[in-house]
Structure 1
Amino acid sequence: MTWTETEYRAYLEEERRLYAWVLCRYGDRTPQEARAAALGRYPYEPAGAPLRGLIFHDEAWHWAMLTLHGEGYWHRHPELADPPSAYENEARGG
């Protein structure tokens, strides 16, 4: 996918926000811990970087669940395979 720089940065920030929200809400992380983790999970990739934005192929919910519960979380916790309505509401802007 091709984004303008403005679109990329906005999408990156929104995914960081949602990732941090999940870590706080479902992982008992402090906002500061969650934000630091989000910055690590979603680093800025400069324009022209190979595979820029590839992380966006899965939503923040999935990446946060991997962080909290590990690979295969969807088998051990099938109730977490799909984001709950609280996440969907947050993704729509709360």
Structure 2
Amino acid sequence: MADDWTEDEYVEYLHGERRRFAWVMQRYGGITPAQAEVAALERYPYEAGTVLFRGLIFHDEAWHWAMLSIYGDLYWVEHPEFVYPSPEYEALD
């Protein structure tokens, strides 16, 4: 996945996922922008190009990771309305 990316491509994608994760955390998790930014940096730390499986977290999108953080494991069972990203989230790209 990210193994084939240039450094610039990886960093751009990383920043995008952080931005989307923070947005979900604010919108659905009810946290402040500052808290959401910290949460996004913790969820999506920078990984050097030498790290094995760099970017593995990208196998699921930020929506999924944020919903897991907010609602926990199996959020899709208790909150089926969040199985798919909202149109607002999709519009972020």
Asked if Structure 1 and Structure 2 have the same fold, meaning a TM-score greater than 0.5 normalized by the shorter chain, the answer is yes
2: distance between equivalents of 1:43 and 1:84? 25
- AA aligned to 1:61 is W
* Percentage of matched positions with identical amino acids: 57
Equivalent of 2:32 in 30, 50, 59: 30
1:1-94 aligned at under 5 Å gives the runs 1=1, 2-90=4-92, 92=93
Following superposition, the deviation at residue 61 of structure 1 comes to 0.2
State the number of aligned residues.
91
Task: Point out where structure 2 has 5 or more consecutive residues left out of the alignment.
Answer: none
- AA aligned to 1:39 is L
Following superposition, the deviation at residue 48 of structure 1 comes to 1.7
Give structure 1 regions of 4+ aligned residues with deviation exceeding 4 angstroms: none
- AA aligned to 1:56 is F
1: distance between equivalents of 2:79 and 2:27? 17
| C-alpha RMSD of the superposition | 0.6
Deviation string 1:14-63 (CA, Å, 9 cap, x unpaired) is 00000000001111110000000000000000002011000000000000
Structure of greater relative contact order (alpha carbons < 8 Å, 6+ residues apart) = 2
Task: Point out where structure 1 has 5 or more consecutive residues left out of the alignment.
Answer: none
